[in-house]
Amino acid sequence: MNGAGTTSDGMDTNKNHQPIRRLTNSAESIIIYFSRSGSTELLASKIENKTNADILEITVQEPYPSNYPKTLARANAERERQDYPELNMALPNLDQYKTVYLGYPVWAMTLSHPMHSFLNTYGRQLSDKMIAPFMSEGGYGQGDSVQVVKESLSQRGAVNNRFTSALVVDGNQVDHVDKQVNDWLR
């Protein structure tokens, strides 16, 4: 139940390029996502292309190893201690946005830790937004991740959120999900 064997893993997305951060004064939607090995990032870029939303990547102080077992060991230890990673990003003012597309990989059948950290740190600033959760996973589905997003937001004092259905994509199939993405965006 840990996604071992999924071919998408094995490379931190920011090893070879700067974190993604494309912001305008005019967009009414923003995509905020974390991706360790690129699948959620690819899905985020598809959503960006289809919506013209702004886009912001969540990054952590200490990136996860590209080595999958090492990442798993770190993630397991973090989860046991509920010790979520420190972020190294700045959140822009979100006033202009009505919709936040919130993207993450599923880890251990729940929300991956950088998104935990993001919601714990900035959740309150998502008040009044429509939240559109999207995720990539290794074949075991969304787990309780959306529930955890909802709980984290309300614990951080976010109010007046509405939620769309979640877009759940197998990380190895992101290249083949354009129709699913289009249908979800409708």
Ligand X SMILES: Cc1cc2nc3c(=O)[nH]c(=O)nc-3n(C[C@H](O)[C@H](O)[C@H](O)COP(=O)(O)O)c2cc1C
| Contact flags string 140-179 toward ligand X, x per CB under 6 A | x------------------------------x--------
3-state helix, strand, coil in the chain (%, to 5): 35, 20, 45
Question: What is the three-class DSSP state of 143?
Answer: coil
Q: Tell me the closest approach of the beta carbon of residue 69 to ligand X, in angstroms.
A: 10
Residue found under tokens 């959120």: 161
Q: How far is 5 from 68, CA to CA, in rounded Å?
A: 9
Q: Judged by CB under 6 A, does residue 40 bind ligand X?
A: yes
Q: Tell me the closest approach of the beta carbon of residue 141 to ligand X, in angstroms.
A: 6
Q: Judged by CB under 6 A, does residue 36 bind ligand X?
A: yes
Q: How far is 131 from 126, CA to CA, in rounded Å?
A: 8
Residue pair 120/148 in contact by the 8 Å Cβ criterion: no
Q: Tell me the closest approach of the beta carbon of residue 148 to ligand X, in angstroms.
A: 13
Q: How far is 175 from 34, CA to CA, in rounded Å?
A: 18
Pick the stretch among 15-23, 36-44, 123-131, 158-166 that binds ligand X (CB under 6 A): 36-44
Q: Judged by CB under 6 A, does residue 57 bind ligand X?
A: no
Q: Judged by CB under 6 A, does residue 107 bind ligand X?
A: yes
Q: Which residues make up the interface to ligand X (CB under 6 A)? A: 1-3, 6, 8-9, 35-41, 71-72, 75, 105-109, 136-140, 171
